[in-house]
Amino acid sequence: MVLQNIVILEDGVPARLHFADHSIEKRTITDPVSGRPGVRNVLVFEVDTLNGAPVVARFSTMAEKLAGLFEPYLREKTYTKFDFIITQLGEGFMRRWSVQAVPK
């Protein structure tokens, strides 16, 4: 997509990303079960390379499992020294991720 500014993972398709920066944002979302709005923390990465090509995009997650895989890299922004190969598998609450850190 020519104007892609948000990285959306495809089920079963590995994506190689390099992150330049990150933040924790608060977002109001509608709970799909209750239909009520609620505030959630979201881990947001600024992506500067996607599958080997330069981009200006964002990758975000509210999934505690996925965010936890990145936690060791958040301190001192050590993620900038790696590319991450992320593969998403499954749907909904059964979704899981494979994350591989590859030194730059």
**Residue pLDDT, tens place only, 66-89:** 999 999 999 999 999 999 999 999
What tokens does 64 get? 């505690």
pTM of whole model > 0.85?
Answer: yes
Q: Give the per-residue pLDDT at 3.
A: 59
**Sequence letter at residue 80:** T
Number of C-beta neighbours around residue 50 at 10 A: 17
Q: Distance (Å, rounded) from C-alpha 103 to C-alpha 60?
A: 21
Q: Give the per-residue pLDDT at 31.
A: 83
pLDDT tens string 7-53: 999 999 999 999 999 999 999 999 888 889 999 999 999 999 999 99
Q: Which residue has the tokens 């997509």?
A: 1
Closest CA to 3 of 44, 60, 57, 45: 57
